[in-house]
Amino acid sequence: MSPRLVRTVAVLVLLAILGLPKSALACSCMWAGPYAKVALGKELIVLGEVMDHYKNSMEVQIIEVVKGTEERKTIRIWGDNGALCRPYVAHFPIGTRWLLAVFPLPEKTGETRPPWQGFASPPGRREYTISVCGDFWLEVRGETAIGRITVNDYSNFLEWVPLGDMLAWLRSNGKSPMLSPTPLSTSSR
């Protein structure tokens, strides 16, 4: 192949990639940190139980609103569809309980939104998303919260704290006594 043909093909491939809408590109984000670092920055934190999955969303029954305001007893949280920076809802099995720090979706207006501007909530019914760009969830087993709570690197290393201590820390906006998580043996997962 001639150098000119190689350059032409390279330019055409680059233009084709740049012409793709953002929604067609895969997720790319840096891990922002463990739950204790990222959760308090979210508008809504709930203790909830996963009731159902529908497509790439889950219905969560709220046991307690820990931070923020949400009057409904059940909310919809959207996960990954294969191209978003969200966990797949299969990570949250039906019947399990979680501390979830979620992002509200903007409410739909009468305007048509281009796909790359993201999804929106139906009018009058706020829906949420959860990010994979940090640990925005902790599993709740009995009276224990489990996950990457204070671990400063992305790994399989998990920790646990008593649920009451985690709730008190969240309610105080991180001002109550510092969390002292205990390493979780990988054999107990």
pTM: 0.78
Domain ranges of the chain: 29-188
CA 26 remoteness from chain centre: 16
Task: Tell me the pLDDT of the chain (189 aa) as tens digits.
Answer: 676 654 654 444 444 444 444 444 567 888 899 999 999 999 999 999 999 999 889 999 999 999 999 999 999 999 988 888 889 999 999 999 999 999 998 776 665 544 444 566 566 678 899 999 999 999 999 999 999 999 888 888 899 999 999 999 999 999 887 788 888 865 444
What pLDDT is attached to residue 188? 44
Q: Domain 29-188, what fold?
A: OB fold (Dihydrolipoamide Acetyltransferase, E2P) (2.40.50)
Which three-class secondary structure string do you get for the chain?
Answer: CCHHHHHHHHHHHHHHHHCCCHHHCCCCCCCCCCHHHHHHHCCEEEEEEEEEEECCEEEEEEEEEEECCCCCCEEEEECCCCCCCCCCHHHCCCCCEEEEEEEECCECCCCCCCHHHCCCECCCCCCEECCCCCCCEEEEECCEEEECCCCCCCCCCCEEEEHHHHHHHHHCCCCCCCCCCEECCHHHC
The Cβ of residue 171 has, within 10 Å, a number of other Cβ atoms equal to 14
Side-chain-side CA neighbours of residue 154 (13 Å): 10
